[in-house]
Structure formats: structure tokens, C-alpha cells
Chain A
Amino acid sequence: MSKRRPYNRELSSDWWLKDIFYSQYMLREGSSIFITLYSLILAWGVFRLSQGEVAFNAWMEALQHPLSILFHLIALAFALYHSITWFSLAPKAVDLWIKGKRLNEKIIILTHYIAFVFVSIFCLFIIIS
């Protein structure tokens, strides 16, 4: 008779804390919570705008609350973290070949940053003008 009895190790719920690589991944995924909340606040602002000037000004007023500023700083930090880590992973999803060679990873990453800066300046320009 076989003595085989393969043992299955259970995955603990804190698996993502046991290796820095997993923790960084979870932070990247977790950033979506803050970005979702940020988008909802922004969408709420658009809705308030449709209700007239008084409503919109009240929303603007609420944004100046210290807790609101703190939240937006955290959201900004997460958004930057997500962007930087995502840009560094981008070459894996790009399959561009030039003259029989795969396009250099650095060029792909740099292109992302250039596009990021360009879009940011474009948005700032619209807000100011």
C-alpha cells in the first residue's frame, strides 16, 4: 500500500507582507482605492457645478479642509507611485522591433515619461488659460 500523503501548505492571508516584492505589488494595486476615491470627489464636483454657483463654491470650500488636503496628498503620492512602477513595467507589454532588434527598454520607459510631462503641461495650460 502506498504511504504517499502529499502535504498542502496553506497560504496565509499575510502572504503579501512576507516579501518586499509582493508588498510593493500590493501597494501598486492598492493605489487604485485612493485613485477611485479621488475620481469620485472630482465627479461630485462636476455634479455640484451642474447645480449652480453656490453649490460649486461649497464643494470648493470643502476641498480646503485639512483632511481633504491630506487625502489629496496621499492620493497624489499613490498616483505617482503607480505611474512610476507602471512605466518601469511597460516595456514588457510592448513588442516593437526595429531592424531585427527589439526596441530598447529605456527608450520605451523614456517615451512614457515624455508623454507624461507633455500631458501634464497641456492640462496645466488649459487650467491657467
Chain B
Amino acid sequence: MSKKLTPSEKRLEIEILRYHPEQDEEPYLQQFEIPYTTDMTILEALQFIKDHLDSTVSFRWSCRMAICGSCGLMVNGVPKLGCKAFLRDYYPNKITLEALANFPIERDLVVVMDDFINKLEEIKPYLIPEKEPQFLTKGTYQQTPEQLEKFKQYSMCINCGLCYSACPQYALDNKFIGPAALALIARYNRDSRDAGSAERMKIVNQEVGVWGCTFVGYCSVVCPKGVDPAAAIQLLKVESSKDYLIGMFKP
């Protein structure tokens, strides 16, 4: 059932990079025209296209409110969350949508994120207590607001992958641990309840750890949750240097 468009409605042109592995050798651009309203998001535009124009368009989404991190895509070459980017910021110009850069395309706007997820798992993203884990009957681990403040912003990451799409170092060599995973290391290393820093510093100190970063800084610009991975990495570089210097004087 296709929706009738009245002539008075404002229209907007949207271009989508399509790729169907079972029939396409390589991706190609397809044009769509949709009715435009000021409150429409890119995600809603995609849903309109899927419901009324072409049901074969594939894309990921879930929460529609910038917390699930599923709907990341390139909007005119810039990594964005589809639910957090509005058509009004582009109207009346044409919008080009493409799957998140620096990830392989699975199908249309869906990417293969396995490498990213593996990296997040690799860095031991959980509290490693100093002694034996404390039984709940002994009470919870205490923390002051100041101790919380030291790592809080790094814990706001929703694992959407936009920072990896913004990172030319990850694009050039995907062995680089990358912005989100390194920010997650900072999140746990800076937590007063954690004692796993020494284990995580082995990852940080590598060439593909913090030293793979050349401080482009675009990761922090595109982050939809105000996390500052570039800062996390620079602070970890300081820690890594300290680690190295202390190591030199240890027998």
C-alpha cells in the first residue's frame, strides 16, 4: 500500500548506497523522493522509504532515542545516528546515506561490526577488584561523587561505532584498538573500585594501542553522547609514558 503524496507537500531527495551481496558485485546509489516535514529524522525517512517506496532497504534501528546505538550511518559523509539527525538540517539539499565508513558492508546500510565488538570485549570491560570479589552481604563498594566524576563521561558510550567511522587511523589499519575501546579502558582504569590497570596497560602500551592514535580528534566531534575518546587516549598516552619510564628503573 503506497501513501498518496499531495502536490503541496514539500519533497526531499534521498540517495542511499545499496548493496545486496546475492546479486550486486559492488554497491550503487539509488535515489528516493520522500515528503518532508521539519520534525522528521533520518531514521524516520528510512522507515518511510521501507514502508512506502522500497521494502528491500535494510538498516538497523531499535530505540529511536539515541541510546541503543544501532542506527549509525554516514549522512553526507559524516557519521551520525539516524535517530539524532534531522532532515531540517539538510533541507532542501539532497541527502546521501551510506553504511558506516571503515566497516565492511553486510547489506545496504547494515555493517559488519564484529571487529569492533571483539575489541570492546578484549579490553576486560569489567571491574577487577584488588582482593577477592566481595560478597554482597558485606555491602557494596563505596565511591564518592568526585571518584565517580573521574570516569563518568567515559561510561556514557553506547557502542554505536561512529568514532571508528571517523578515525582515519582505524581506516588505514584496523588492528588499531580504536577510540571507543580505549575510552572504555580509561573508564575502568580511572574507576576507584578497579585494580585491573596493570592488565589493561599491556593493551594500551602497544603500537596498536594508544600509540596508533595520531590525535586527529574527529572521534570526539562525532560522538553522539558527548564522550571524549580523544582525551581518554591522550591521558592514556601520559599513563603509558609513565609506565615506560617506571619500567626502565625497575630491576
Contacts and interface: CB of A to CB of B under 8 A. Distances in A.
B234 A93 contact: yes
A11 interface: yes
Contacts of A91: 231
B112 interface: yes
Given A15-B168, A18-B77, A93-B237, A6 B149 contact: no
A92 B27 contact: no
B226 interface: no
B168 A29 contact: no
Contacts of B105: 6-7, 9
A4 B106 contact: yes
A116 interface: no
Given A100-B145, A100-B146, A92 B230 contact: yes
B68 interface: no
B106 A29 contact: no
Interface string B122-155: 0000000000000000000000011001100000
A16 B21 CA distance: 29
Interface in A1-32: 3-9, 11, 15-16, 18-19, 21-22, 25, 29
Given A19-B78, A29-B214, A92 B234 contact: yes
Q: Tell me the interface secondary structure of chain A in the complex.
A: mixed
Chain A: interface residue count, which band?
A: 20 to 34
B29 interface: no
Interface size class of B (residues with CB under 8 A): 20 to 34
Most chain B beta-carbon contacts within 10 A, residue among A6, A11, A100? A6
B76 to A, nearest CB: 10
Interface stretch (B42-50, B85-93, B197-205, B216-224): B216-224
A22 B112 contact: no
Contacts of A19: 77-78, 218
Contacts of B146: 97, 100
A46 to B, nearest CB: 30
Contacts of A29: 214
A53 interface: no
A25 B221 CA distance: 13
Contacts of B104: 6-8
Contacts of A77: none
Closest 5 CB pairs of A and B: A6-B104, A5-B21, A92-B231, A93-B234, A100-B146
Interface of A: 3-9, 11, 15-16, 18-19, 21-22, 25, 29, 89, 91-93, 95, 97, 100-102
6 contacts: A5-B21, A7-B105, A18-B77, A22-B168, A92-B220, A95-B235
Given A7-B27, A92-B217, A101-B149, 12 more contacts: A3-B21, A6-B21, A6-B104, A6-B112, A7-B105, A9-B105, A19-B78, A25-B216, A89-B230, A92-B220, A92-B235, A100-B149
